[in-house]
Amino acid sequence: MADCLFCKIVAGEIPSTKVYEDEQCLAFADTNPQAPRHVLVVPKKHFTDIGDLGQDAEAAAGLVAGIGGLARQEGFTDYRTVFNTGAGVGQSVFHVHAHVLSGRPMGWPPG
Ligand code: 5GP
Ligand code: ZN
């Protein structure tokens, strides 16, 4: 999609620190990390948010598989996966992405 930051990262038009890639997903380091490891996992195809993604079962499964593949590759045993949906809870990039956070203790519920 034109003018989408994460579509541009997927296309290689904007540089990123790639961590993991498979047929359907790209995972790259967040530039403002909230944990020692903070990786964003995105479908290569554009979806606005998790509700939009959920209408395409194959793509939704692909993103979940990508999160699992990233975790296996990086040796994450304990990690948190977050989807922000809507500006009111902090979504700032409207190309669905999973935040995968690892490398420090995290309480529940989150503060
Ligand atoms: P959101 O706020 O939409 O849930 O998450 C967007 C995330 O993208 C934020 O954590 C922010 O730090 C990250 N981000 C914003 N711009 C860039 C960028 O150009 N490159 C990378 N790698 N991350 C970005
Ligand atoms: Zn996009």
Would the pLDDT of 88 be above 90?
yes
Write down the residue that tokens 């304990």 correspond to: 78
For ligand 1, atom 1, the nearest C-alpha belongs to: 91
DSSP E strand stretches across the chain: 18-21, 25-29, 37-43, 79-82, 98-102
What pLDDT digit, counting tens, does each position of 12-54 carry?
Answer: 999 999 999 999 999 999 999 999 999 999 999 999 999 999 9
The band of 101, judged by pLDDT with boundaries at 50, 70 and 90, is very high
90 lines ligand 1 (CB under 6 A): yes
Confirm whether 99 is a catalytic residue. Answer: no
**Domains of the chain with CATH codes:** 5-102 (3.30.428.10)
Q: Given the residues 38, 46, 95, 97, select the one marked as catalytic.
A: 97
The band of 84, judged by pLDDT with boundaries at 50, 70 and 90, is very high
Would the pLDDT of 111 be above 80?
no
16 lines ligand 1 (CB under 6 A): yes
CA distance 63 to 70: 10
